[in-house]
Amino acid sequence: MLTLRRSHERGHAHHGWLDSRHTFSFANYYDPQHMGVSVLRVINDDWVKPGAGFETHPHRNMEIISYVLEGSIEHKDTIGVHSTLKAGEVQVMSAGTGTLHSEFNPSDSEELNFLQIWVQPNKNRVTPRYVQKDYSDAKGITLIISPDGRDGSLPIHQEAKVYKLSLSAQATTFATTEGRTYYLHLARGSLEVNGTRMESGDGATITEETAINLKAFDQAEGLLFELP
């Protein structure tokens, strides 16, 4: 079964320096029908103006993933990390017992577009940690996040996996695991998923399917979440 959520159905917040689309309820956007899928709690599609960003703020007991689509993020936190992520790079910050961080667009001319993702952990009060990796060259279906960091993926405190999709006018099949829930967020391009057409910004919850059949009509990029 595939349940589609179109891009225009998402919540929207515009703060001048930030233009954000919320797949699930977040901040002032509340929809009891869209509170998340399994342990996936937030997908925000954020556009940040040059020189602007999120001032230092706290997080606790959450796995926070940033996936950069365009531009770059300058990240600083209280566990001693000061880094920059560019398009194609991914970070996982395990907030655990608590950390403060800021995220800014360091450019004076280019906008930043990134996906901010929150996953509820299966362990609370862990020691905070930060990891990042460049997946800009990954093609096809690539595991980028997993519970144990297998196959070059980034580790997360949850029995969840995240795959990057980078498909170019091709068809491929992803074999599902029984009892798991899947969520696909299409960041860019067009994609046919088990016979349903998806466009940029669309999302789909997929359950009780033995396979996910993907057909790209042009260059398509997205994230496929495998959830408990």
- Going by DSSP bridges, is the β-strand pair 171-175/211-216 parallel, antiparallel, or unpaired? antiparallel
Tens-binned pLDDT, residue by residue, of the chain (228 aa):
999 999 999 999 999 999 999 999 999 999 999 999 999 999 999 999 999 999 999 999 999 999 999 999 999 999 999 999 999 999 999 999 999 999 999 999 999 999 999 999 999 999 999 999 999 999 999 999 999 999 999 999 999 999 999 999 999 999 999 999 999 999 999 999 999 999 999 999 999 999 999 999 999 999 999 999
Distance, CA of 155 to CA of 225 (rounded, Å): 14
**CATH number, domain at 82?**
2.60.120.10
At a CB cut-off of 8 Å and minimum separation 6, what does 199 contact?
Answer: 6, 7, 186, 190
**Coil, helix or strand for 184?**
strand
How many domains, in total, are found in the chain?
1
Q: What residue numbers bound the domain in which 132 lies? A: 2-227
Q: For the CA atoms of 169, 175, 176, 182, what is the dihedral angle to 10 degrees?
A: -10
Give pTM, 2 decimals.
0.97
